[in-house]
Amino acid sequence: MSEPALELEGLARHYGEREALSGVSLSLAAGQTLVVFGPNGAGKTTLLRVLATLLRPHAGDVRVLGANLPDQAWAVRGRVGLLGHEPLLYRELTARENLRFHARLHGVSDERVHELLGAVAMGSRAGEPLRTLSRGMVQRVAVARAVLHDPELLLLDEPHSNLDPAAVELVAPLIGAASGRTRVICSHDPTGDLAQADVVLGLRAGRPALLSAVAEVDPGEIAELYR
Amino acid sequence: MLSVILSEVPALPLHTAGKYVAGAYIVLFAIVLIYVAIMAIRLSRIERDLGELLSMSERAGEPPASSAGQHSAEPTAGATGKQDPQPESTLA
Amino acid sequence: MERSSRPFGYGNGLRTLSVVTVIAIAVALGLVFFYAPLEAEQGFLQKIFYVHVPLAIIALCGFVLGGLLAIQHLRTRDPRWDMRSYVVIHMSLIFAVGTLITGSIWAKGSWGHWWVWSEPTLVSFLIIFLLYATYQPLRFAIEDPERQARYASVFAITAGAFVPMNFIAVRLSTAYLHPRVLGSTSNLPGPMALTFLVSLVAMALLFATLCKYELTAKHTRSQLRALRRRLSGELADAPTRPRSAVPAIQHAAAAPARAAGRPVL
Amino acid sequence: MSGVQTPQRPRETAQPVRNAGLWRTVAALLRKELLVELRTLESVPAMSLFALSTFVVFHFALNRNSVEGDLGAGILWVTLLFAAILGINRLFVADADQGGFDAFLLAPVDRSAMLIAKALTLLAYLAVLELIAVPAFALLLLGAPLGPALPGLVTTLVLADLGVAVIGTLVAAMAVRTRARDLLGPLLALPLLVPVVIGGARATSPLLVQAHPAGVGGPAIRWLLTLGLYDLVFGLIAFALFDFLLED
């Protein structure tokens, strides 16, 4: 697919007088991975929510998967998978019921639910309400929920939080580089995620302080962001 | 002149009913007065803020004229007469 | 930097409007007390009619107008419409309080007690007042100014549609205790009708003037905050705006002027 | 466990993923709603018990062993109204706290499906509430026989419940994502529901009377019309405005 998956030009989003995001411009080809670094409150989560059509951009033009937001947001929904801090799952329902609910919303068959439950090794505990499960298990069900509808674009906000190394290994084919999907990952540890990045974006107080291909970036600059 | 008007006017029967009528009009007047008082307080707050800003701009060394020079105190004559169609036409 | 924003576009409009209002109110008062004949049944007390009913009508029109402005805000997403809707509803609420007080004074005068359940306009005004009293708390309970404006507009439209509905329901349910002179404006003899109309126009002008006055004050304050942000931007971290129910209009002080034609209101 | 290589399904061109129609989305939402309610039993039992205890309070407050006519209708409708307020307050809490809104907004579905599903859920809660509260009212407080009044009462209840469901859903959606959600819900809903209570009480008061000279007449038609008009007007408004409450 020649057309870039993501094209941002002067994206801005403000929260009252404070500018959560301003002047973010980048382009990401399909299949590539963009890793976003930046201290807390730099606007990483806001960026993900704008790309996921949950937040309307206040300025600049945003083209996600060939549709520009916010007018053609409907064309993007269902083709984007979001894995944020919140699992977006109901604690009272079981893992299977949650995934079935999301499957019906996205028009996905039940086999896919069963297949994904196996893929995240949650088959055995699929019948218990989520509130009885550990945070790691809930995160794995959330990963399954994020890729349930086979999205073309994955938006991952610190995907490996609460996951033990074995679990990271387990979900790699779904949300890792092996999944072959275009990915935008927000992360705090330059060592791990920098390896799988194609493009690196550094955000500081909503503004892009660093934007370059992974080859030209040196870890010193990334550390600089957090000072 | 005043006596002419006074003689013309029907005697105002200010017995019991008058009390209430006076009360009603005083209430209306009081509402407008309270409103003007609140706006006056706000106006004084704006003036205080403006004073702060002026001192701020002096401290910043940049003469205030350069940034706010164009804001002529009086709205320029050039502005079209009917500035804002909306509130006046509340009746329309 | 070319002119940052057009000069204030309100000043002159306000001056002429207030002069016209003062004249209209003076004429109205003159007519009410010196020209309108005494009503056969209620006598002098009926003079309250010329202040109570215009207040009520203007307040109702204000609430419905607030709803229409809110529709325009949701369509265009322009915060200025939200500011207008907020000011108009805020003013109508004040007029509604006036209606309730003058109404209860009238009730005391003609039936001997301050609150009368049989008078439909009074009763529906109490309900409408209770509803719109939640407008400010609703706005105050939402932090993000943009969402605050949107939720306030949804409320304004729903409540705007509620006003006539409420009148229908209350009017149907209230037994008629006495002649309809209090609410009705139709079967008035000539001079009374003229006086009533002049009072109505005077009240409408008063409403427009106060609204414009408040709009000017709010606009000035937001310009001031923009100036403060620009100035303090150089000195220290700008103090963030305290949470408030008042709509926030972002004056991108640094941004180029808006379309030169439209005054910034 | 070798990592299962997910099949890379062919993707059509950039046309939107239109999945199930509106009503299948509503069905999915309804199924989830009722599942969560059955699991937690948060709303319906609370509303019913609240109604029963309110009848007891009315008994002692009014110091009457039985009521009928206007007083009876008044007690019934006030109790139902406040019990409905309880349901309205809890309607969106699960969605707001556990990311239900975001999950729904991410899916390629029509946004008014949430309004329809939530309104139907509230309608179901009200129906169950009335199935318990009305017989209890007849048993505890009503001096008149319920039987002859039932058909008229049920039609009025259905019309009123529609109004409460529509306004309740709109107000709940407005109040849930604010700071004072438990206060704003009732403050917004009560004035808006006054016409429903007026219509309901006036329509049913002639039914709940002891003496039936020529059998119990139906509820006055003008009250049913008022309720119907109310439901229609606010149904359209809710349909038009609900999307603005969801988006951000």
- Specify if A1 maps to a domain: no
What tokens were used for C78? 């322009």
Burial C77-112, CB ≥16 within 10 A → b, else e: eebbbbbbbbbbbbbbbbbbbbbbbbbbbbbbbbee
Which residues are within 8 A (CB) of D49 and not within 5 positions of it... i.e. 6 or more apart? Answer: none
The β-bridge partners of A12 are: A59
Interface of C with D (CB under 8 A): 74, 127-128, 130-131, 134, 137-138, 141-143, 147, 150-151, 153-155, 157-159, 161-162, 165-166, 168-170, 172-173
The β-bridge partners of A94 are: A129
Smallest CA-to-CA distance from A77 within C109, D25, D242 is with D25
Q: Which position has the higher pLDDT, D17 or D122?
A: D122
At B89, the pLDDT band (50, 70, 90 cuts) reads very low
Q: Which residue does chain D place closest to A66, by CA atoms?
A: D14
**Rounded-to-integer distance, Cα C168 and Cα A56, Å:** 40
Which residues are within 8 A (CB) of C108 and not within 5 positions of it... i.e. 6 or more apart? Answer: B20, C114
How many angstroms separate the first and last alpha carbons of chain A? Answer: 39
**Rounded-to-integer distance, Cα D161 and Cα C168, Å:** 19
At B73, the pLDDT band (50, 70, 90 cuts) reads very low
CB A5 within 8 A of CB A153: yes
At D7, the pLDDT band (50, 70, 90 cuts) reads very low
Q: What is the mean pLDDT of residues C198-220?
A: 92
- Residue to test with chain A: of D18, D98, D106, most A Cβ within 10 A: D106
**Reduced to 3 states, what is the DSSP secondary structure of residue A21?**
strand
Contact D99 A115 (CB under 8 A): no
CB A186 within 8 A of CB A115: no
**Rounded-to-integer distance, Cα A23 and Cα A7, Å:** 13
User: Nearest-CA distance from C240 to chain A in Å?
Assistant: 7
Contact C17 B88 (CB under 8 A): yes
Strands A80-83 and A6-15: unpaired
Smallest CA-to-CA distance from C99 within C129, C56, C57 is with C56
CB D126 within 8 A of CB D165: yes
Q: What is the mean pLDDT of residues C25-29?
A: 91
What is the DSSP secondary structure assignment for residue C37, as one 8-state letter?
A: P
In degrees and rounded to multiples of 5, residue A203 shows phi and psi of: -110, 140
State the average pLDDT for chain A.
87
**CA R_g for chain B:** 24
Given a cut of 70, is residue D224 above it in pLDDT? Answer: yes
Query: For D54-77, what is each residue's pLDDT tens digit?
Result: 999 999 999 988 888 889 999 999
The β-bridge partners of A153 are: A80, A182
**Reduced to 3 states, what is the DSSP secondary structure of residue A60?**
strand
Given a cut of 90, is residue C39 above it in pLDDT? Answer: no
**Reduced to 3 states, what is the DSSP secondary structure of residue A49?**
helix
At A144, the pLDDT band (50, 70, 90 cuts) reads very high
What tokens were used for C156? 């304004």
pLDDT on residue C242: 77
Most confident of the ranges A189-193, D17-21, D121-125: D121-125
At B87, the pLDDT band (50, 70, 90 cuts) reads very low
**Rounded-to-integer distance, Cα B47 and Cα B38, Å:** 14
Domain final residue pick, A125, A150, A175: A150
Given a cut of 80, is residue C176 above it in pLDDT? Answer: no
**Rounded-to-integer distance, Cα C210 and Cα C219, Å:** 14
pLDDT on residue B15: 63
- Looking at the structure of chain A, the number of domains it has is 2
Query: For C61-108, what is each residue's pLDDT tens digit?
Result: 999 999 999 999 999 999 999 999 999 999 999 999 999 999 999 888
Residues in chain C closer than 8 A to A18 (CB atoms):
240
Residues in chain B closer than 8 A to C214 (CB atoms):
39
What is the DSSP secondary structure assignment for residue A106, as one 8-state letter?
A: H
Most confident of the ranges A136-140, D82-86, D136-140: D82-86
Query: For A35-53, what is each residue's pLDDT tens digit?
Result: 998 888 888 999 999 999 9
* Chain A contact for D31 (CB, 8 A cutoff): yes
Contact B91 C201 (CB under 8 A): yes
In terms of phi and psi (left: phi > 0; alpha: psi -120 to 50; beta: otherwise), the region of B61 is left
- Specify if A84 maps to a domain: no
A145 and A157 share a domain? no
* Chain A contact for D179 (CB, 8 A cutoff): no
At A147, the pLDDT band (50, 70, 90 cuts) reads very high
Q: What is the mean pLDDT of residues C138-167?
A: 94
- Residue to test with chain B: of C32, C50, C105, most B Cβ within 10 A: C105
Residues in chain A closer than 8 A to C229 (CB atoms):
17
Its pTM stands at: 0.85
CATH of the domain at A205: 3.40.50.300
pLDDT on residue B59: 78
Q: Count of CB contacts below 8 A, C vs D?
A: 85
What is the DSSP secondary structure assignment for residue B11, as one 8-state letter?
A: P
Number of residues that make up chain B = 92
- Residue to test with chain D: of A105, A115, A145, A147, most D Cβ within 10 A: A105
Given a cut of 60, is residue C177 above it in pLDDT? Answer: no
Residues in chain C closer than 8 A to D191 (CB atoms):
127-128, 130-131, 134, 162
pLDDT on residue D6: 42
pLDDT on residue C98: 94
Q: Which domain holds residue C69?
A: 15-177+191-225
Q: What is the mean pLDDT of residues B72-83?
A: 38
Contact C144 A17 (CB under 8 A): no
Given a cut of 70, is residue D226 above it in pLDDT? Answer: yes
User: Nearest-CA distance from A87 to chain C in Å?
Assistant: 24
Q: What is the mean pLDDT of residues A83-96?
A: 92
Q: Which position has the higher pLDDT, C190 or B44?
A: B44
Residues in chain C closer than 8 A to A54 (CB atoms):
none
Q: Which residue does chain D place closest to C156, by CA atoms?
A: D241
State the average pLDDT for chain D.
87
Edge to edge, the sheet with strand A207-213 lists A80-83, A153-157, A182-186, A33-37, A199-204, A207-213
Given a cut of 60, is residue D204 above it in pLDDT? Answer: yes
| Residue from the list C128, C153, C168 with its beta carbon closest to the beta carbon of D226 | C168
A133 and A155 share a domain? no
Residues in chain C closer than 8 A to A16 (CB atoms):
143-146, 240-241, 248
| Residue from the list C65, C98, C217 with its beta carbon closest to the beta carbon of B90 | C65
Q: Which residue does chain A place closest to C222, by CA atoms?
A: A17
Chains that touch A (3 or more CB pairs under 8 A): C, D
- Specify if A49 maps to a domain: yes
Burial A15-28, CB ≥16 within 10 A → b, else e: bbeebbbbebebeb
Does residue A70 have a cis peptide bond before it, meaning omega lies within 30 degrees of 0? Answer: yes
- Specify if C218 maps to a domain: yes
Contact A90 D98 (CB under 8 A): yes
Which residues are within 8 A (CB) of C32 and not within 5 positions of it... i.e. 6 or more apart? Answer: C47, C50, C195, C199
CB A13 within 8 A of CB A55: yes
Residues in chain D closer than 8 A to A79 (CB atoms):
11, 17
At A115, the pLDDT band (50, 70, 90 cuts) reads very high
Provide the chain A residues 113-142 that lie in CB contact (below 8 A) with chain D.
115, 118-119, 121, 129
A131 and A161 share a domain? no
- Choice among B18-27, D149-158, D190-199 with the minimum mean pLDDT: B18-27
**HEC letters along chain D:** CCCCCCCCCCCCCCCCCCCCCHHHHHHHHHHHHHHHHHHHCCCHHHHHHHHHHHHHHHHHHHCCCCECHHHHHHHHHHHHHHHHHHHHHHCCHHHHHCCHHHHHHHCCCCCHHHHHHHHHHHHHHHHHHHHHHHHHHHHHCECCCCHHHHHHHHHHHHHHHHHHHHHHHHHHHHHHCCCCHHHHHHHHHHHHHHHHHHHHHHHHCCCCCCCCECECCCCCHHHHHHHHHHHHHHHHHHHHHHHHHHCC
Q: Which domain holds residue A54?
A: 6-79+151-225
Given a cut of 60, is residue D143 above it in pLDDT? Answer: yes
Domain final residue pick, A121, A150, A179: A150
**Rounded-to-integer distance, Cα D67 and Cα D61, Å:** 13
Smallest CA-to-CA distance from D46 within D92, D98, D84, D94 is with D84
Given a cut of 50, is residue B69 above it in pLDDT? Answer: no
- Residue to test with chain C: of D198, D204, D236, most C Cβ within 10 A: D198
The β-bridge partners of A81 are: A154
CB A33 within 8 A of CB A182: yes
A218 and A127 share a domain? no
Given a cut of 60, is residue C109 above it in pLDDT? Answer: yes
What tokens were used for A194? 């920098």
User: Nearest-CA distance from C42 to chain B in Å?
Assistant: 9
Chains that touch D (3 or more CB pairs under 8 A): A, C
Q: What is the mean pLDDT of residues C45-65?
A: 91
A119 and A185 share a domain? no
A156 and A68 share a domain? yes
A140 and A175 share a domain? no
Query: For D80-105, what is each residue's pLDDT tens digit?
Result: 999 999 999 999 998 999 989 999 99
Burial A184-206, CB ≥16 within 10 A → b, else e: bbbbeebeebbebbbbbbbbbeb
Residues in chain A closer than 8 A to D35 (CB atoms):
93, 97
Percentage of chain A with pLDDT > 70? 99
**Alpha-carbon torsion, ordered C191, C194, C196, C200, to 10 deg:** -170
**Reduced to 3 states, what is the DSSP secondary structure of residue B56?**
helix
- Specify if C152 maps to a domain: yes
Given a cut of 60, is residue B83 above it in pLDDT? Answer: no
**Alpha-carbon torsion, ordered D80, D82, D83, D85, to 10 deg:** 120
| Residue from the list C154, C166, C169 with its beta carbon closest to the beta carbon of D241 | C154
Residues in chain B closer than 8 A to C231 (CB atoms):
53, 56-57, 60, 67
**Rounded-to-integer distance, Cα A55 and Cα A51, Å:** 8
User: Nearest-CA distance from C75 to chain B in Å?
Assistant: 17
Contact D237 C137 (CB under 8 A): no
Q: What is the mean pLDDT of residues B5-11?
A: 57
H-helix segments, chain B: 2-8, 16-59, 64-68, 85-88
- Specify if A185 maps to a domain: yes
Contact B43 C217 (CB under 8 A): yes
Q: Which position has the higher pLDDT, D77 or D148?
A: D77
CB C63 within 8 A of CB C89: yes
**Rounded-to-integer distance, Cα D248 and Cα D245, Å:** 8
Contact C168 D183 (CB under 8 A): no
Q: Which position has the higher pLDDT, A72 or D163?
A: D163
- CB count in 10 Å sphere of residue A97: 22
**Residue showing tokens 């509808």:** A149
Cα angle C258, C86, B87 (rounded to 5 degrees) comes to: 70
Domain final residue pick, A132, A150, A168: A150
**Computed from CA positions of residues D31, D36, D39, D42, in that sequence, does the dihedral angle turn out positive or negative?**
negative
Type of residue numbered A223:
A
A127 and A99 share a domain? yes
Percentage of chain C with pLDDT > 70? 82
Residues in chain C closer than 8 A to A14 (CB atoms):
250
- Residue to test with chain C: of B14, B88, B89, most C Cβ within 10 A: B88
Exposure on the CB side of residue A100, measured as CA atoms within 13 A: 14
User: Quick check: do B and C touch, 3+ CB pairs under 8 A?
Assistant: yes
A102 and A205 share a domain? no
pLDDT on residue C241: 72
Which residues are within 8 A (CB) of B32 and not within 5 positions of it... i.e. 6 or more apart? Answer: C206, C210
Which residues are within 8 A (CB) of C258 and not within 5 positions of it... i.e. 6 or more apart? Answer: C5, C6, C264
Given a cut of 70, is residue B62 above it in pLDDT? Answer: no
**Rounded-to-integer distance, Cα A169 and Cα B42, Å:** 62
- Specify if A85 maps to a domain: no
Residues in chain A closer than 8 A to D10 (CB atoms):
none
Given a cut of 60, is residue C238 above it in pLDDT? Answer: no
